[in-house]
């Protein structure tokens, strides 16, 4: 039973990592390193929290959904609210995806079109998101950078899968189905479904083949008459989409009642570690995200583990994902070889 | 002629400034959470506002945006002749220790930390006493016989909350189960509501049905998880009962506003005293929140027990151990 609870918690904790790591997978497989996963998640989490508030609480700014894009210079944009309240969680999700894609496109423009340094651009996005979210949150809501508490239709509710109650009494399978598989929100299931989908896209479609090729040898792809730029832009776009969902999960799909400053709490970097640990494969990403989620769940449940001879402090459990990544990078458990053209801007002719 | 008028006006302003320095010219600095954090800083803002309403004396304010600004902000206010300069938050101690020596004629006030300078008043709260009271309420409200605590950053101050809480709970039921989790060991532990929620769910799985959150924004995740699972949560610092009516047992209130208000008006009345000032139950510096959101959850029996304990602590009959006095807690 305890193990089931741990795995249940691991699944919830793995979801944002899984989505962000898949985002990194698409981007990096196309040859664009993405340090900015963290920033895109954070910006997405804020957009989700803010727009779910606007949509779900008409009393907040009146009958109109008034977007202060004019910054006081012109009248704010007024969009009538009507009965959008029930859709607020989806509006939040949509806003998160849009904001995250905008940031992804900035990253793409800097690193593909302008051939800038991909790491610097990613770091810039992280700083930008960390500062801007708090600034805008204070401006809009004046709650010290938090968004107002969300409830009801402003958050993703848990889904009880059909027959879960009835199946609970069946030995072994019942509790697993009822306690572990059922009772999560839709993003958790979507993240799990995204794994085979990503595998199929990357390894069973023409687009995926080209995307992988462009990360290994963009020159060859270009010679075949396929646009390297377009492929890389699409890959980064997909990364933006997945990061946005991951961010929306943080503010709308967990126990956090809305956005709070720095709520991504380095998950974007753990996702990067998971991606390397997974050696850039979708199947591996699933395993790595679940493993890291499981380690975090253990750290949450047993803060110090007494194994008789000595006590393992909780800090060790928290550091374990990073230690494992270093071990992998050092080549002790297999070898993690990144896409060959990763980090290199493609120049048609030198 | 025009120059003369300007000069006259300038003299008048200088004169007015000279007059003003006879009474208080207060300044308050808000810590990193921001002025409207629904908690600590907002509470000091309320205290400053109350002073302004009652006396009509305006005050200067500054919101810290980064650690580097702590010393700057203090020094700037002192240079401008502000008196007293009040700042809430234990992270400001080093900066204040430096600046207070540079401006020996200015009165400084720090809340939640002790700075040993002749012109500094250090206001500390007896959080263990307030936590003891909510611990009593938690133990009486618990049906499962297990209560729990989620702290933010693992520092002695937060352990002080936890230790007072478990002592209060054990005073009602010596066998009551107690689970304690700290969110982390660095500043991000105050801003991780997702992890706060996970910790709470783990505690619920382990049988807890009353959880006390002393964890800043992380606490919002704790209280949300408690409400989602339909158990009871306990808020901290400000009255947070309104967050989830029906699932909020109470809040452990820490009256930062009282500390700020007292500092301002003491200087204004010429009764300012430096040194350590402890605000406990007797001074109404800490307490438990009872309002329309939780009155249905607090029975008469619970109210009687907690009031008896309050009287006992004030009279000295009940001694609540302060974790920070020796960094140990008698109850596990």
pLDDT tens digits for B207-246?
Answer: 999 999 999 889 999 999 999 999 999 999 888 899 899 9
Name the fold adopted by B127-253+287-326: Rossmann fold (3.40.50)
Q: Is a pLDDT exceeding 70 seen at residue B9?
A: no
Q: Is B329 helix (H, G, I), strand (E, B) or coil?
A: coil
pTM of the model: 0.85
The CATH number that domain B2-126+257-279 falls under is 3.40.50.2300
* Chain A environment of B33 (Cβ under 8 Å): 144-145
Compute the distance between CA of residue A122 and CA of residue A34 in angstroms, rounded to an integer: 6
* Chain B environment of A261 (Cβ under 8 Å): 191, 217
pLDDT confidence of B104, banded at 50, 70, 90? very high
Among chain A residues, CA nearest to B199: A300
HSE at residue A203, side-chain half, CA atoms within 13 A, is 11
pLDDT confidence of B13, banded at 50, 70, 90? very low
Question: How is chain B split into domains, by residue range?
Answer: 2-126+257-279, 127-253+287-326
Q: The complex's ipTM?
A: 0.83
Which of A10, A263, A44, A246 has the alpha carbon at shortest distance from B221?
A: A263
A9–chain B nearest CA distance, Å: 7
Mean pLDDT calculated for residue range B143-148: 96
Most confident of A137-141, A170-174, B79-83, B129-133: B129-133
State the pLDDT at residue B14. 43
Mean pLDDT, all residues of chain B: 88
Which of A146-160, B4-18, B130-144 is the least confident region? B4-18
pLDDT confidence of B57, banded at 50, 70, 90? very high
- Residues of chain A with pLDDT below 70 are 58-84, 304-305, 350
Check A261 against B195: CB less than 8 A apart: no
A71–chain B nearest CA distance, Å: 21
Q: Is residue B84 reached through a cis peptide bond, with omega within 30 degrees of 0 on the bond before it?
A: yes
Same fold, B2-126+257-279 and B127-253+287-326: yes
């Amino acid at each position: 039973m305890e193990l089931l609870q741990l795995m249940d918690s691991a699944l919830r904790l793995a979801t944002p990592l899984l989505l962000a790591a898949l985002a990194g997978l698409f981007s990096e497989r196309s040859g664009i390193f993405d340090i900015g996963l963290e920033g895109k998640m954070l910006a997405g989490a804020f957009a989700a929290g803010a727009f779910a508030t606007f949509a779900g609480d008409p009393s907040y700014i009146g009958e109109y959904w008034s977007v202060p894009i004019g910054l006081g210079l012109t009248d704010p944009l007024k969009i009538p609210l009507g009965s959008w309240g029930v859709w607020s969680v989806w509006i939040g999700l949509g806003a998160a995806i849009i904001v995250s894609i905008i940031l992804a496109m900035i990253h793409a423009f800097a690193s593909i079109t302008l051939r800038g340094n991909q790491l610097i651009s990613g770091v810039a996005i992280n700083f930008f998101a960390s500062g801007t979210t708090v600034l805008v949150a204070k401006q809009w809501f004046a709650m010290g950078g938090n968004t107002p508490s969300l409830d009801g239709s402003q958050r993703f509710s848990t889904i009880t899968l059909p027959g879960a109650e009835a199946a609970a009494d069946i030995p072994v399978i019942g509790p697993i189905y009822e306690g572990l598989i059922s009772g999560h929100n839709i993003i958790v299931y979507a993240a799990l479904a995204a794994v085979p989908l990503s595998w199929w896209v990357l390894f069973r479609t023409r687009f995926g083949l080209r995307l992988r090729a462009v990360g290994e040898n963009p020159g060859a792809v270009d010679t075949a008459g396929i646009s390297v730029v377009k492929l890389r832009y699409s890959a980064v776009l997909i990364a933006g989409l997945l990061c946005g969902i991951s961010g929306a999960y943080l503010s709308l799909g967990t126990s956090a009642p809305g956005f709070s400053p720095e709520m991504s709490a380095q998950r974007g970097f753990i996702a990067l570690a998971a991606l390397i640990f997974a050696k850039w494969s979708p199947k591996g990403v699933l395993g790595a995200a679940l493993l890291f989620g499981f380690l975090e769940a253990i750290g949450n449940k047993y803060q110090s583990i007494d194994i008789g001879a000595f006590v393992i402090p909780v800090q060790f459990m928290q550091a374990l994902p990073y230690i494992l990544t270093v071990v992998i990078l050092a080549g002790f458990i297999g070898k993690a070889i990144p896409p060959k053209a990763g980090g290199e801007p493609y120049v048609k002719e030198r | 002629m025009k120059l003369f008028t300007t000069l006259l006006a300038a003299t008048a302003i200088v004169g007015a400034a000279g007059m003003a320095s006879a009474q208080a010219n207060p300044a308050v600095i808000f810590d990193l959470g921001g002025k409207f954090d629904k908690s600590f800083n907002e509470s000091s803002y309320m205290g400053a506002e109350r002073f302004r309403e009652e006396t009509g004396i305006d005050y200067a304010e500054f919101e810290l945006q980064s650690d580097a600004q702590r010393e700057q902000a203090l020094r700037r206010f002192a240079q401008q002749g502000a008196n007293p300069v009040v700042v809430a938050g234990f992270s400001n101690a080093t900066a204040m220790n430096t600046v207070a020596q540079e401006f020996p004629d200015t009165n400084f006030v720090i809340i939640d930390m002790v700075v040993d300078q002749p012109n500094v008043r250090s206001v500390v709260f007896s959080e263990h006493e307030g936590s003891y009271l909510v611990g009593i309420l938690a133990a009486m409200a618990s049906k499962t016989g297990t209560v729990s605590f989620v702290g933010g950053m693992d520092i002695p101050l937060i352990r002080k909350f936890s230790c007072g809480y478990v002592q209060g709970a054990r005073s009602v039921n010596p066998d009551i189960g107690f689970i304690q989790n700290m969110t982390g060991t660095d500043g991000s532990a105050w801003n991780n509501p997702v992890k706060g929620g996970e910790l709470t769910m783990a505690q619920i799985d382990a049988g807890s049905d009353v959880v006390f959150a002393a964890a800043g924004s992380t606490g919002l995740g704790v209280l949300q998880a408690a409400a989602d699972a339909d158990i009871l949560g306990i808020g901290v610092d400000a009255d947070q009962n309104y967050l989830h009516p029906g699932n909020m047992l109470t809040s452990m209130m820490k009256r930062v506003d009282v500390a700020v208000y007292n500092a301002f008006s003491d200087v204004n009345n010429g009764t300012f005293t430096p040194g350590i000032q402890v605000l406990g139950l007797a001074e109404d510096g800490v307490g438990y929140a009872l309002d329309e959101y939780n009155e249905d959850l607090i029975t008469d029996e619970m109210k009687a027990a907690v009031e008896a304990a309050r009287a006992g602590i004030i009279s000295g009959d009940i001694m609540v151990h302060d974790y920070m006095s020796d960094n140990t807690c008698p109850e596990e």
